[in-house]
């Protein structure tokens, strides 16, 4: 059987629906998050944020704050230690090109909500109260936060962001083919800026261990990024700073880069020589990274039969004044369909906000929304069914890199999704379907995301009591990494899941990349499997070497690991328990390391993507302008599915976030103040239970060779295309094309 994890080729836990192993700890409160770790003599920092968006601080009067009993110290740019910013130019592991924001560096204000002071007190409430007494004078300049007014200044980023592919060069003559084509469409699309809003706000607890050594609990999607940041910025040695992040209450990309609360907590702990915790408030969660505002134009042209003759996709993305944030927005339009004339262009324009950052399927959410809405418009313009149009332009080749796609079961996604949804009953005419006083609309879209793998390692230890521990430093954002690694370990060594413990999120564990990009299952999963295989080989050698061993003269290829035993595959009566083998070898423990990285030959030969087809039903109350997403079917092709239960949860989460971006989520800038005004969950709307109806997830069979397990990753594909499917359904229901997300009541009426 292809891509099995177990040595005898039969997976027992991998591929089966298993509940989260960390579920009980999370629902009983045993799981601790960065802001919950305690320390003796712990002090609490409260962040004071800038009231202006641009200018400088003229004076800070902290005397009233300092007079509050229990206040330890007020930190500002005027008294911050000189040790901070030792390496002035340090860029974290995922920093875009530019000059990173440095909290409390000087008197300059770069964006509204910028931290300008930290009040440290014996408890949180005193710190917060004292913070309200700071008197800060500013000299304000007029900020520019309106991207539409900056677009004439848009530029191609001079330096590419590491890991982000710039748009490929043009192929054919997109503009000429457009002019010559019988069916032509050119429209503008836009998606509002969005903030991540994970349940757990960002927090850091820095524990002073004495002698200038620290244990740091940080909300981060990869502890090594925080560790190297602290080392560079504060001049610490690796042994001086251990970073731990066992659980995250959601990240979605907001936890990829070390955030300012980490800097502030470490700065205060170093100066005060005591432990400090800094937790951001919900409204301060709107004072750093966000999904950028992007202005897009998509021009598609086709023959009468719908065959694409030209695709042109232009995007101008907002970034900050200090960093060139980049994501892949337009490239998808050259990958998804067969077309000879393609022009893809991506520029940046600067506004006075913090640097935007990665948010679940960064770039694809934005770009695929525009492309897939344009494809729906083309389906109407050519009188084709939206699925038929996509099948007519189907491709097995990634023309942007001139490589075949390693596997692409997108046809099966269209077919199985349509079947489950009941698509064939759709009347293509808009405003043709009703349910009582509501208009009903059915729309669909394609989704795509890169299937990536990163260099990763993992450690495994088998102890003489027959228990296995696996670990590495990557994070489980709530995605199910603890669970799938448990399944992989259990199957490789033939153990029960209860006998396997997984440790993650600690710089003292084997090195692994940030948890992001949907690459964790492929990367950490493969490394863990290899570490366990190494242990299997060692314990087998011990078993075969036992006196009168039942495995004497048997090759490794002829055994199976199951039920805590090593058995001869075709004669299970001949077996040795792992415990007996270790005892016979006189060993208490067997340790091994495994590593994984993508195979350069495979990468050179193929492009690797996950795909999906999303079908949406909306019901629209014409009088109220209210849109409900009453049904979603999301059919996913993502290679081997390690755990259908946690996998389904990933897609559910992605779909819910897609509903959010289609209908609810919008960070609103007041351009006079240069400030995101709806910085709370009362005014920044995320979908709640009442907004969510039926979501049906299908995983189609797909075999892939990209990595030894054949997995492609699932964290991001669920959101891509979802907003387009919904917007297309809204058109089908109402006859209105709403090309600027979110689709709010004012746009529907």
Query: Which residues of the chain form contacts with ligand MOS (CB under 6 A)?
Result: 221, 251-253, 256, 358-360, 362, 516-517
**Cα-based distances in Å from 666 to 190, 192, 201, 420:** 12, 5, 19, 32
In the chain, how long is the greatest CA-to-CA distance?
86
Structure-token pair, residue 550:
């039942």
Measured CA to CA, the distance from residue 634 to residue 647 in angstroms comes to 12
Asked whether 551 and 568 are in contact (CB, 8 A), the reply is yes
Torsion on CA atoms 354, 358, 363, 366, rounded to nearest 10: -70
Cβ–Cβ under 8 Å, residues 376 and 446: no
**Dihedral angle of Cα 548, 551, 552, 554, to the nearest 10 degrees:** 170
CA distance 477 to 529: 21
Closest CA to 13 of 468, 494, 461: 494
Question: Tokens for 309?
Answer: 């003759």
**Backbone dihedral angles phi then psi of residue 488, each to the nearest 5 degrees:** -65, -45
Q: Which helix (H) or strand (E) holds 379?
A: helix 364-381
Query: Which run of H or of E encompasses 141?
Result: none
Q: Which residues contact 27 (CB under 8 A, 6 or more apart)?
A: none
Distance CA 564, CA 500 (A): 12
Nearest distance, CB of residue 561 and ligand MOS, angstroms:
34
Please state the closest distance from residue 242 (CB atom) to ligand MOS, in A. 23
The SS3 call for residue 536 is: helix
Q: Assign 3-class secondary structure to 332-351.
A: HHHHCECCCCEEEEEEEEEC
Rounded distance, CA 193 to CA 176, Å? Answer: 34
Is 716 a catalytic site residue? yes
Q: Between 117 and 719, whose beta carbon lies closer to ligand MOS?
A: 719
- Characterise 98 by phi-psi region: left (phi > 0), alpha (psi -120 to 50), beta (else): left
Residues 6+ apart with CB under 8 A from 682: none
CA-based nearest residue to 743, from 650, 573, 626? 626
Contact present, 350 and 123 (Cβ < 8 Å)? no
Strand order in the sheet with 294-302: 342-350, 308-319, 294-302, 183-191, 740-741
Which of 200, 372, 438, 716 is catalytic? The answer is 716
> Angle between the 722-734 and 364-381 helix axes, to the nearest 10 degrees?
30
> Facing residues of 591 across strands?
461
Written as one string, the DSSP assignment of 2-63 is: TT-SSTTS--SSTTS----TTHHHHHHT-S--GGG---TT-EEEEEEE-SSSSEEEEEEE-H
H-only helix segments in 500-642: 520-544, 578-584, 600-605
The C-alpha atoms of residue 662 and residue 248 are separated, in whole angstroms, by 26
CB count in 10 Å sphere of residue 424: 9
| Between 256 and 582, CB nearer to ligand MOS | 256
CA distance 372 to 197: 26
In the complex with ligand MOS, the residue whose CB is nearer, 505 or 516, is: 516
State the DSSP code for 111: S
Active-site annotation, residues: 716
């Amino acid at each position: 059987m292809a891509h099995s994890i177990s040595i005898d080729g039969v997976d027992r836990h991998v591929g089966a629906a298993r509940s989260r192993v960390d579920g009980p700890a999370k629902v009983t409160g045993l799981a601790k998050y960065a802001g919950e770790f305690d320390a003796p003599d712990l002090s609490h920092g409260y962040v004071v944020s800038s009231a202006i968006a641009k200018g400088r601080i003229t004076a800070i009067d902290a005397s009233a704050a300092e007079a509050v009993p229990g206040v330890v110290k007020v930190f500002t740019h005027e008294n911050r230690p000189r040790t901070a910013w030792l390496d002035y130019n340090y860029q974290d592991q995922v920093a875009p090109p530019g000059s990173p924001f440095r909290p409390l560096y000087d008197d300059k204000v770069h964006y509204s909500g910028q931290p300008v002071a930290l009040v440290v007190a014996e408890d949180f409430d005193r710190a917060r109260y004292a913070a309200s007494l700071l008197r800060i004078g500013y000299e304000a300049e007029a900020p520019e936060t309106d991207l539409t007014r900056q677009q004439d200044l848009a530029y191609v980023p001079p330096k590419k962001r590491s890991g982000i592919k710039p748009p490929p060069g043009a192929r054919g003559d997109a503009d000429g083919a457009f002019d010559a084509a019988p069916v032509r469409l050119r429209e503008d699309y836009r998606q509002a800026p969005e903030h991540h809003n994970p349940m757990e706000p960002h927090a850091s607890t820095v524990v002073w261990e004495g002698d200038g050594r620290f244990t740091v609990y940080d909300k981060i999607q990869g502890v090594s990024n925080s560790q190297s940041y602290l080392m560079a910025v504060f001049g610490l040695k690796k042994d001086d700073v251990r970073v731990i992040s066992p659980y995250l209450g959601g990240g979605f990309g907001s936890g990829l880069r070390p955030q300012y609360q980490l800097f502030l907590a470490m700065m205060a702990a170093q100066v005060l020589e005591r432990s400090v915790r800094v937790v951001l408030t919900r409204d301060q969660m709107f004072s750093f990274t966000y999904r950028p505002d992007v202005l897009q134009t998509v021009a598609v042209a086709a023959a009468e039969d719908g065959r694409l003759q030209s695709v042109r996709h232009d995007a101008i993305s907002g970034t900050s004044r200090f960093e060139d944030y980049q994501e892949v927005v337009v490239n998808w339009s050259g990958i998804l369909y067969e077309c000879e004339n393609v022009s893809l262009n991506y520029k940046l324009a600067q506004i006075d906000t913090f640097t935007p950052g990665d948010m679940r399927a960064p770039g694809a959410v934005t770009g695929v929304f525009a492309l897939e809405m344009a494809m729906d418009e083309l389906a109407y313009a050519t009188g084709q069914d939206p699925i038929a149009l996509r099948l007519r332009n189907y491709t097995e080749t990634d023309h942007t890199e001139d490589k075949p796609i390693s596997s692409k079961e997108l046809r099966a996604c269209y077919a199985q999704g349509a079947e489950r949804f009941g698509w064939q009953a759709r009347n293509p005419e808009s405003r043709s379907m009703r349910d009582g006083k509501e208009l009903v609309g059915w729309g669909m879209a394609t989704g795509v995301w890169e299937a990536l793998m990163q260099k990763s390692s993992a450690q495994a230890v088998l102890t003489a009591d027959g228990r296995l521990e696996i670990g590495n430093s990557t994070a489980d954002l709530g995605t199910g990494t603890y669970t799938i690694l448990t399944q992989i370990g259990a199957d490789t060594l033939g153990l029960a899941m209860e006998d396997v413990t997984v440790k993650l999120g600690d710089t003292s564990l084997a090195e692994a990349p940030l948890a992001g990009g949907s690459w964790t299952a492929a990367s950490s999963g493969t490394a863990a499997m290899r570490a366990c295989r190494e242990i299997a080989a060692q314990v087998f050698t011990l078993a075969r070497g036992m006196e009168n061993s039942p495995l004497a003269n048997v090759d490794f290829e002829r055994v199976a690991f199951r039920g805590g035993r090593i058995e001869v595959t075709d004669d299970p009566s001949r077996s040795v328990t792992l415990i007996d083998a270790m005892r016979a070898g006189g060993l208490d423990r067997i340790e091994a390391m495994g590593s994984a990285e993508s195979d350069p030959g495979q990468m050179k030969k193929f492009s690797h993507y996950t795909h999906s087809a999303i079908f949406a039903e909306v019901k629209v109350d014409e009088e109220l302008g209210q849109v409900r997403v009453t049904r979603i079917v999301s059919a996913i092709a993502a290679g081997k599915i390690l755990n259908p239960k946690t996998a389904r949860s990933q897609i559910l989460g992605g779909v819910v976030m897609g509903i959010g971006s289609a209908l609810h989520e919008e960070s609103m800038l007041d351009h006079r103040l240069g400030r995101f005004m709806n910085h709370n969950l009362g005014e920044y709307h995320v979908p709640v239970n009442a907004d969510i109806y039926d979501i049906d997830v299908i995983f189609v069979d797909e075999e892939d060779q990209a990595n030894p397990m054949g997995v492609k990753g699932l964290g991001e594909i669920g959101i891509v295309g979802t907003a387009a499917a919904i917007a297309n359904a809204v058109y089908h229901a109402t006859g209105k094309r709403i090309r600027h997300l979110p689709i709010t009541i004012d746009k529907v009426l």
